[in-house]
């Protein structure tokens, strides 16, 4: 490709990946995203090294390189999760799935080095993990697209789709090659020839997207920190899920209190938060301001990274008020959830617990019992 040998293209790709790994390890090693970016780069370096025909790696080293390479889809998924899904913990099921496919591939590679696996074992150790890795890659792209419209962090909006899709295309290409290698055993039975994607193409594509990523990070400078540093790592009084606070607030510097107060006033008086599916574009139209300006105000001045997070604060505040009222005691919680703007009770329960660390039922019980306890003590 372009007159370059496979080794030359590999050196180009490894040089860019090494820069990413060292940069984030040196300057952002305390941040989860910095750690994941370094790890992801190292996984891809291992993939390149393991697939160079002239490296002559001994079995333990090559085995380690392949294990790190197969970790790449899981690390990409974690990156997408922490970058684009605000205030989300990694489900325990995801960790288990990662452990399962890594364990199957690790044991399968070790076992096959000694004796050929039977048909069923081959399918379990090689084919099933490929499907799991493909699932992680596809879902990483889905998470990037899913929250695009409600994302309030401008620098993240610029990066989320292009970077994730570019990396997912790479992982998908690697997995296609993995599928071809895994299915060659079955294809040979029916005299079918499967041709993998040439490593020259893969490595050159890897070089291009990593170079583009490095140039983008350098161009963004300080803006990149808002993407890399998670709210829980900022060390400020604002939590990972900010609570709705009065305007003007003593906790954040408000550059334009009148504008922020107007946003609050319109949302609360007209109960716009109770409209399921309300978008930031619709709110901007109602306020007669540009959408990008509204994004900037809610993000920079109020500390929210996601528009749904902002709406949830209004919705949960109203739900708390109603749950605390004695005459609302018999009102089904589902009705309150739907009244404040949720289209599903599960979404309401999750958002409520994220903000208060209590279920709506627990909150109601505590709120209703407080007056009784205080009157008894007097």
Class of domain 6-233 (CATH, top level): mainly alpha
Q: What is the C-alpha to C-alpha distance for residues 371 and 377, in angstroms, rounded to an integer?
A: 10
Contacts of 339 (CB under 8 A, 6+ apart): 274, 322
pLDDT band for position 68 (cuts 50, 70, 90): very high
> What does CATH list as the number for 257-377?
1.10.10.60
The residue among 186 and 105 whose pLDDT is bigger is 105
DSSP letter, residue 230: -
Domain boundaries, the chain: 6-233, 257-377
pLDDT at 38 over 90: yes
pLDDT at 78 exceeding the cut of 90: yes
Radius of gyration (Cα) for the chain, nearest Å? 26
The span from the CA of 222 to the CA of 220, in Å, is 6
pLDDT in tens, 237-267: 344 444 555 444 445 566 678 888 889 989 9
User: Is residue 65's pLDDT more than 60?
Assistant: yes
Spatial distance between the Cα atoms of 98 and 227, rounded to a whole number of angstroms? 25
pLDDT cut 90: percent of the chain above it: 25
Give strand pairing partners of 151: 306
Q: Would you state the structure tokens that stand for residue 46, as one six-digit string? A: 């291992």
The tens digit of pLDDT for each residue in 322-334 reads 998 888 888 899 9
> pLDDT per residue over 259-297, tens digit each?
888 899 899 889 999 998 889 999 999 999 999 899 988
- Does 378 have pLDDT greater than 50? no
Q: If you average pLDDT over residues 216-229, what whole number do you get?
A: 68
How many whole angstroms separate alpha carbon 314 and alpha carbon 28? 34
Q: What span, in angstroms and rounded, lies between the C-alpha atoms of 312 and 317?
A: 8
More confident residue, 180 or 68: 68
Select the more confidently predicted residue: 97 or 216: 97
Q: Which residues contact 224 (CB under 8 A, 6 or more apart)?
A: 155, 217
Q: Does residue 370 have a pLDDT over 60?
A: yes
On the question of a common fold for 6-233 and 257-377, the answer reads no
What pLDDT sits at residue 248? 43
For residues 112 and 102, the model is more confident at 102
Average pLDDT over residues 215-240: 62
pLDDT at 61 > cutoff 90: no
**Residue for token pair 């296609």:** 176
Q: What does the mean pLDDT of the chain come to?
A: 81
pLDDT band at 102 (very low <50, low <70, confident <90, very high): very high
Rounded distance between C-alpha atoms, residue 301 and residue 254, angstroms: 5
Q: Residue 376: pLDDT band by 50, 70, 90 thresholds? A: very low
Question: Coil, strand or helix: which one is 232?
Answer: helix
Distances 137 to 46, 71, 123, 211 between C-alpha atoms, Å: 18, 11, 20, 21
Q: What are the φ/ψ torsions at residue 337 (nearest 5 degrees)?
A: -60, -45
- Residue-wise burial string across 107-120, b where 16 or more C-beta atoms lie within 10 A, e elsewhere: ebbeeeeeeebeee
Q: Residue 233 — very low, low, confident or very high, per pLDDT cuts 50/70/90?
A: low
- Burial class from Cβ neighbours inside 10 Å (0-12, 13-18, 19+) for residue 191 reads exposed
Lowest-confidence range among 113-127, 228-242, 339-353? 228-242
Q: Which of 72-86, 113-127, 144-158 has the lowest mean pLDDT?
A: 113-127
Tokens matching residue 119:
């048909």
pLDDT of 25 reads: 92
């Amino acid at each position: 490709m372009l007159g370059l040998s496979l080794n030359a293209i590999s050196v180009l790709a490894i040089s860019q990946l090494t820069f990413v790994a060292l940069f984030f390890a040196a300057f952002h090693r305390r941040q989860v995203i910095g750690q994941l970016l370094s790890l992801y780069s190292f996984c891809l370096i291992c993939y390149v090294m393991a697939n160079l025909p002239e490296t002559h790696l001994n079995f333990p080293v090559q085995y380690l390189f392949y294990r790190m390479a197969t970790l790449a889809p899981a690390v990409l998924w974690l990156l997408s999760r922490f970058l684009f899904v605000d205030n989300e913990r990694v489900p325990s099921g995801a960790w288990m799935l990662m452990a399962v496919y890594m364990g199957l591939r690790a044991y399968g590679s070790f076992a096959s080095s000694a004796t050929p696996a039977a048909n069923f074992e081959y399918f379990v150790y090689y084919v099933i993990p490929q499907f799991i890795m493909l699932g992680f890659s596809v879902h990483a792209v889905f998470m990037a697209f899913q929250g695009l419209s409600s994302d309030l962090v401008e620098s993240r909006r610029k990066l989320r789709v292009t970077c994730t899709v570019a990396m997912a295309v790479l992982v998908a290409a690697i997995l296609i090659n993995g599928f071809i290698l895994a299915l060659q055993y079955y294809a040979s039975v029916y005299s079918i020839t499967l041709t993998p994607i040439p490593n020259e193409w893969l490595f050159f594509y890897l070089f291009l997207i990593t170079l583009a990523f490095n140039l983008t990070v350098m161009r963004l400078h300080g803006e990149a920190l808002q993407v890399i540093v998670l709210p829980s790592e900022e060390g400020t009084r604002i939590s990972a899920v900010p609570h709705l606070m009065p305007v003007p607030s003593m906790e954040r510097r408000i550059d334009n209190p009148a504008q922020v107060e107007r946003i609050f006033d319109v949302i609360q008086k007209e109960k716009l938060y109770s409209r399921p599916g309300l978008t930031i574009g619709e709110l901007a139209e109602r306020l007669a301001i540009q959408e990008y300006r509204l994004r900037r105000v809610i993000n920079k001045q109020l500390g929210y990274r996601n528009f749904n997070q902002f709406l949830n604060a209004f919705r949960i505040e109203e739900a708390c008020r109603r749950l605390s009222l004695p005459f609302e005691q018999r009102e089904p919680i589902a009705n309150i959830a739907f009244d404040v703007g949720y289209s599903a009770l599960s979404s309401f329960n999750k958002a409520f617990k994220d903000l208060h660390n209590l279920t709506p039922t627990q909150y109601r019980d505590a709120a209703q019992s407080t007056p009784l306890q205080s009157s008894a003590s007097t």
